[in-house]
Structure 1
């Protein structure tokens, strides 16, 4: 029951940066949005993963700013079409999905212009039971209605050691790069 309440609470607010309506909240379209991560091996090989399940909202605040919330399901991580790497990523030596089923991001309130102009989206990332301030870089919008007519594109890099993701240190570099291409649900859905 507590997990359901937590999941619903995060759904009631968030992800990455698209223009919300003048009041209220706009749900992220999890079917059309893509959220992934990239790791590098110590030999330079790139390992790509995706979060197959995610939910979020962009909330219009009373002062005219916006706030983004995003929840990623760690148990739904898929790595490069590889069952072996997928099991490793979900397992106790890395994301530990059994103990830490969700990765959460809550942005600081920001001006809507950030979505159009690009720049830093700051907020709190909770990963592996640790919450830290992080920034994601938004690319300038390629259309007049970002999130509706084009993707909102964001990237961010974290040091996995900051979150206790210490498994496979001899094989994997310390950096995890997150990539997001976000769309909002149509207003009539």
Structure 2
């Protein structure tokens, strides 16, 4: 999900806002310092926490000075925490179908740099299970002066499984999937 939910959006306070001649990547996601999580709730009230341990992405600065984030999350390595059986099912053909659809991606709409400081809505295109839809994530206000580097960029959002044909577990699981992203960035040298 070179583009995923991410969300994350995010890129770069502390980098000059002067527009460049062409779009260029200014930051990349630091996978080891970032968290890409989701939660599902059973019809009996149990919450299952899932993780995408292999997430990557980048932030591009556009000619007008706005930013755009592109995230990619691997479904081949996703896991349901403390539930090996649920992990196998989540990767399997009746849910994420990791063999046919090995990644979830998110490509944000262009956003102003100030969004990372103030927080607010980040819209974009989310692709899950081969289906692409417009979705919205909400960024929390920054907890530091240089979000993504000094502190994580935090984004949350919810989607409906039925919108993406993730119909496995429909009798046992509620339709909503909630995402929680904590993204850390590393600036590229080509700024």
Whichever structure has more helix as a proportion of its residues is: 1
CA distance in 2, matches of 1:38, 1:67: 26
Tell me the SS of whatever aligns to 1:185: strand
Bigger relative contact order (CA 8 A; separation at least 6): 2
- Shift, 1:81, TM fit: 2.2
Tell me the SS of whatever aligns to 2:76: helix
CA distance in 2, matches of 1:97, 1:106: 20
CA deviation vs aligned residue, 1:43-97 (integer Å, no higher than 9, x gap) = 1100000001011001111100000000000011011122111101101111110
Residue 166 of structure 2 corresponds to which residue in structure 1?
Answer: 165
TM-score of the two chains, using structure 1 as the length reference: 0.89
CA distance in 2, matches of 1:172, 1:92: 16
Q: 1:78 and 2:79 equivalent?
A: yes
CA distance in 2, matches of 1:97, 1:50: 14
CA distance in 2, matches of 1:116, 1:85: 37
CA 1:44–1:183: 2 relative to 1, 3 Å: same
Q: Is the 8 A contact 1:15 1:55 kept in 2?
A: no
Runs of 4+ in 1 over 6 A off after TM superposition: none
CA distance in 2, matches of 1:36, 1:42: 20
Residue 4 of structure 1 corresponds to which residue in structure 2?
Answer: none
Query: What RMSD in Å do the two structures reach over aligned CA positions?
Result: 1.6
CA distance in 2, matches of 1:124, 1:187: 24
Tell me the SS of whatever aligns to 1:100: coil
Residue 3 of structure 1 corresponds to which residue in structure 2?
Answer: none
The total of aligned residue pairs comes to: 178
Residue 60 of structure 2 corresponds to which residue in structure 1?
Answer: 59
Residue 98 of structure 2 corresponds to which residue in structure 1?
Answer: 97
Unaligned runs of 5+ in 2: none
- Shift, 1:17, TM fit: 1.9
Q: 1:17 and 2:17 equivalent?
A: no
TM-score of the two chains, using structure 2 as the length reference: 0.89
1:1-189 alignment, distance < 5 Å: 10=2, 16-20=8-12, 21-22=15-16, 24-25=24-25, 26-185=27-186
